[in-house]
Structure 1
Amino acid sequence: MNTAVKANTQVTQSAPTEAELVERARALIPMLKEKAADVEKARMVPAETIEAFVNSGFFKILQPAQFGGWQMSPSVFYKVLMELGRGCPNSAWNMMILGIHQWEFGGLDPQAGQDVWGKDDSVLVASSYPPFGKVEEVEGGYLLNGRWRTSSGCDHGSWAFLGGMRKDKDGKPVDRCSFLVSRENYEILDDWHTFGLAGTGSKSLIVTDAFVPYHRMHSLIDYQHSDRPANFLFPFNQVFFAAVSAVIVGMAQGGIDEYIEQMKVRQNTTGDGAAALSPYVKDRLGNAVVRVRTARARLLQMIQDSHEYVDRGELVPNHERVHHMLDIARVGRECEEAVLLLFKATSARGIFLENPMQRILRDVIAASNHITQNADDTAGMLGGYLLGQEIPPMVFGLDPVSIEDQA
Structure 2
Amino acid sequence: MTADTAIISSQVDTASISCGDPVPSSDELVRRATAMVPKLRAQADEVEEARMVPRETIEQFKQAGFFRILQPKRWGGWEMNPIVFMRILMELGRGCSSSAWNMMILGIHQWEFGLMDPRAGDDVWGKDNTTIIASSYPPAGKLTRVEGGYLLNGRWPTSSGTDHGQWAFIGANQFDASGAMFDRKALLVPRTDYEIFDDWFVFGLAGTGSKSLILKDVFVPEHRAHSMVDYRSSGRSEMYLYPFNMVFFSAVSSVIIGFAQAAVDIFREQMQTRRDTATGLPTALSPYVKDRLGNAVARIRSSRMRLEQVMNEATQHVTRRELVPLDDRVHYMLDGARVGRECEEAVLLLYKSLSARGIYKSNPMQRVLRDVLAGANHITQNADDFAGILGGYLLGQPLPPFMYELPAVTGVEARVPPSGAGDRSASFGCP
State how far apart, in whole Å, the 2-side matches of 1:193 and 1:84 are: 23
Give the secondary structure class of the aligned counterpart of 1:268: coil
Residues 1:72 and 2:80 aligned together: yes
Contact 1:192 1:201 in 2 (8 A): yes
Query: Corresponding residue for 2:182?
Result: 174
Give the secondary structure class of the aligned counterpart of 1:28: helix
TM-score by length of 2: 0.89
Map 1:8-407; keep pairs closer than 5 Å: 14-399=22-407
Give 1:253 shift.
0.3
Of the structure 1 ranges 165-174 and 318-327, higher mean CA displacement relative to structure 2 is found in: 165-174
Of Structure 1 and Structure 2, the greater helix share is in 1
Give 1:172 shift.
1.6
Give 1:196 shift.
0.4
Query: Corresponding residue for 1:6?
Result: none
State how far apart, in whole Å, the 1-side matches of 2:349 and 2:148 are: 54
State how far apart, in whole Å, the 1-side matches of 2:368 and 2:20 are: 32
Counterpart residue type for residue 69 of structure 1: G
State how far apart, in whole Å, the 2-side matches of 1:298 and 1:26 are: 22
Counterpart residue type for residue 331 of structure 2: H
- State how many pairs are aligned: 391
Query: Hey, which bits of structure 1, 4+ residues long, moved more than 4 A?
Result: none
Query: Corresponding residue for 2:9?
Result: none
Counterpart residue type for residue 122 of structure 2: Q
State how far apart, in whole Å, the 2-side matches of 1:273 and 1:400 are: 66
Alpha-carbon spacing, 1:112–1:313, altered in 2? closer, same or farther (3 Å)? same
Counterpart residue type for residue 185 of structure 1: D
Give 1:12 shift.
12
Give 1:227 shift.
1.9
Contact 1:392 1:400 in 2 (8 A): no
Q: Gapped runs of 5+ residues in structure 1?
A: 1-10, 402-407
Give 1:400 shift.
6.9
State how far apart, in whole Å, the 1-side matches of 2:55 and 2:316 are: 38
State how far apart, in whole Å, the 2-side matches of 1:308 and 1:195 are: 41
Counterpart residue type for residue 68 of structure 2: K
State how far apart, in whole Å, the 1-side matches of 2:40 and 2:399 are: 41
Counterpart residue type for residue 355 of structure 1: N
Contact 1:390 1:400 in 2 (8 A): no
**Deviation digits for residues 103-135 of structure 1 (CA, Å, limit 9, x no counterpart):** 000010000000000000000000011100110
**Deviation digits for residues 186-244 of structure 1 (CA, Å, limit 9, x no counterpart):** 01001000000000000000111111000000000110122211110000000000000
Give 1:171 shift.
2.3
Counterpart residue type for residue 185 of structure 2: C
**Deviation digits for residues 294-332 of structure 1 (CA, Å, limit 9, x no counterpart):** 000001110110001000000001000000000000000
State how far apart, in whole Å, the 2-side matches of 1:357 and 1:69 are: 36
Counterpart residue type for residue 213 of structure 2: L
Give 1:156 shift.
0.2
RMSD of aligned alpha carbons: 1.3
Greater RCO, CA 8 A, separation 6+: 2
Contact 1:392 1:399 in 2 (8 A): no
Contact 1:128 1:150 in 2 (8 A): yes
Counterpart residue type for residue 30 of structure 2: V
Give 1:13 shift.
5.4
State how far apart, in whole Å, the 2-side matches of 1:176 and 1:251 are: 31
**Deviation digits for residues 13-35 of structure 1 (CA, Å, limit 9, x no counterpart):** 53110000000000000010000
TM-score by length of 1: 0.95
State how far apart, in whole Å, the 2-side matches of 1:294 and 1:380 are: 21
Counterpart residue type for residue 250 of structure 1: G
Q: Gapped runs of 5+ residues in structure 2?
A: 1-18, 410-431
Give 1:390 shift.
0.7
State how far apart, in whole Å, the 2-side matches of 1:335 and 1:203 are: 26
Counterpart residue type for residue 157 of structure 2: R
